[in-house]
Amino acid sequence: MLSILIPTFNDDITPLVERLWYEIERIETPIEIIIGDDHSTREASLNTFQNLDSVVFFRNPENLGRTATRDLLAKKARYNTLLFLDADVLPAQSDFIKKYLSAIGKSQVVFGGVQYTKEKPEQAMLLRWVYGKEREAKLAQERQRNPYYIISQNLMIDKDVFLAVNAPEIKRYGWDNVFSFQLYRQGITVHHIDNAVIHLGLEPCDSYLSKVQQAMSTLVWAEKNDMISENFTSIQKFYNSLKTFGLAGLLRISLTLWLPIMRAQLASKFPSVRVLDLYKFYYFSTYKYKA
């Protein structure tokens, strides 16, 4: 038994739900799909599946944020095994649900992975695509070496674990790192499988860089509030290694002068993930300095 939970905000979720339903029809295991609309500013397209059995839709009376919407989805779920999917993905394989069903019981948390299209997007979306292909699109064997690096856009988790770890009252972008640390802190095992979704909802460079900045702010805030250790993510480890030699502040000041050049490079036809790392470091170290 499986509850598939999809938080959405201004997304066309019809292709995803149709794709899931096509497979569900051929499976005897009880499965439900619950869609939680976080008070979208445009009307959701529901005509295609609103009469399908085991598909439930609700709309928040106000915008609560992704974390709170996921909490509501989990509480409404009938079954104890939850599969969270973002609204802007599509399963990469035709036996997507079957693979997750076969993984039930292997671990309290199962991460299937993420992929990106082979075709390059337009230049405005290129940074997000390059980063995703280089840093996120990995096979299970490689991901299992660092098991707590997970992305919640394609995650199966026991209901009681999710409700114990989630923090619905926090309305901040970049919460996956904190969520992962809470799993680590509580000793929850994470099992990785090759059952990816294709991330289709790429963002323009400016929008993505704004979210990167927000994520760095969230990371520093979470450190300060003892919600994540100071040595959990790669950016934290890089900062600490430089700080040991007294170089963290020097690099932060130096990067201030290079910010316009870094932004231009990241928006170019050949965005560099290493430049993005420096961009993240600048904002992380700046927030640390001001904290």
How high is the pLDDT of residue 171?
A: 82
How high is the pLDDT of residue 137?
A: 97
- If you count DSSP H runs as helices and E runs as strands, how many of each does the chain have, helices first? 11, 10
How high is the pLDDT of residue 172?
A: 86
> pTM for the complete prediction?
0.95
Q: 137-140 contacts: CB < 8 A, separation 24 or more?
A: 137/113, 137/196, 138/113, 139/113, 139/194, 140/113, 140/192, 140/193, 140/194
How high is the pLDDT of residue 165?
A: 94
How high is the pLDDT of residue 208?
A: 97
Report domain extents, the chain.
2-202, 206-290
How high is the pLDDT of residue 168?
A: 82
How many whole angstroms separate alpha carbon 132 and alpha carbon 154? 14
How high is the pLDDT of residue 236?
A: 97
The CATH superfamily assigned to 2-202 is Spore Coat Polysaccharide Biosynthesis Protein SpsA; Chain A (3.90.550.10)
Token pair 């979208």: residue: 40
Nearest in space to 131 (alpha carbons), one of 266, 291, 289, 290: 266
Contact yes or no for 86/176 (Cβ under 8 A): no
Contact yes or no for 13/6 (Cβ under 8 A): yes
Q: Which residues of the chain have pLDDT under 70?
A: 43-51
